[in-house]
Chains A and B, each alone.
Chain A
Amino acid sequence: MKRLWRWLIPLAAIPVLALLAYGFRVSPRDIPSPLVGRPAPAFVLATLEGAPLSLESHRGKVVVVNFWASWCYPACYEEAPVLERNWRGYRERGVVVMGLDIQDKRDAAQKFVGDFGLTFPVAQDLKGTVSVDYGVYGVPETFFVDRQGRIRVKHVGAVTDDVFKTTVDRLLTEPATP
């Protein structure tokens, strides 16, 4: 029986190898957000036109807060038309889309907005306070805020029509007051 204990040595390598193999199934860049389910942090910024943009003023509507940058290629370029399309489709139904531009130059941001013909409010987060407040670690990231002001979904990566419609449709069915 004592002879068999020595086989523990090669066998001990197996759990380590299994753990490394598990590593293939998860991505180290995929960080779950602790903010989901909590009230969305308030902010007040100025749009590129100079108008004030605040989250609080849209309480009662479903708000889609999208963090982007002009240098984020190709994801932000893919989702810009999606956001614009859905903004036009949903704006009469009590949905607001906001674009927050991070770590960018003003002229690059304006060019981006012009190129894609974006009509939803776009503001620059110059000091990064809002992006850190939302736990943003890359672009694009999109937060879906319900009518009561809570973050319900955080979507990392380019938003698709499918994701937008299913999430917003679901949130629209919920009441504005608890």
Chain B
Amino acid sequence: MSRVTLALLATLIVLGATSFAAGAQGASPVNEQTVYDIATQLRCVVCQNLSVADSPSEMASQMRGIIRERLAAGESPAQVQRYFVDRYGEWILLSPPRRGFNLLVWLLPLAAVVVGLAAAATLIWRWSHRTRGARPAPAAVDAAMSERIRRELERES
């Protein structure tokens, strides 16, 4: 993030001078990137599955304002998130918290990969070893014939 710091400092100065929606509390300057990061994790309550960061609705704009205010008052991102969960329930988080039943949605994909790899490995093993046993003894091939075949192949490739 160090590359963006300079640009953000300039933005903060502009923000500090012109904030008219937030009614700046003045406790600490708010990092817009942090507001955005928190907003991407919250679900816009009036839209269909959009994040508060992406939603164009007025409700989302007000929610971003509230995030900004709380950060300015000194709350940590985790505390801001907890505030919203307190009011709306787990539903407002766009990513289900990794606890209890929700672990199912986090772990099943991993399990799918593991099971898939195991199944693929078993199948490959079984198929490659099936032929080993059943392969018939190679028919005796004429030496001259095999030499001709070899030369033809070399010419082709």
Contact = CB atoms under 8 A, between A and B. Distances in A.
Direct contact of A and B (CB under 8 A): yes
Interface of A: 31-35, 103, 127-129, 131-135, 137-138
Interface residues of B: mostly helix, strand, loop or mixed? Answer: helix
Interface of B: 21, 23, 45-46, 58-59, 62-63, 65-66, 69, 84, 86-89, 91
Nearest to A126: B62
B66 A128 contact: yes
Contact of B21 (A33, A35, A127): A127
Contact of B58 (A33, A34, A103): A103
16 contacts: A31-B89, A31-B91, A34-B87, A34-B88, A34-B89, A103-B58, A127-B62, A127-B65, A128-B59, A128-B62, A129-B69, A131-B62, A134-B87, A137-B45, A137-B46, A138-B46
B116 to A, nearest CB: 16
B101 to A, nearest CB: 15
Contacts of B45: 137-138
Contacts of A127: 21, 23, 62, 65-66
Contacts of A33: 88-89
B66 A132 contact: yes
Chain A CB within 10 Å, residue with most, of B45, B86, B87, B91: B87
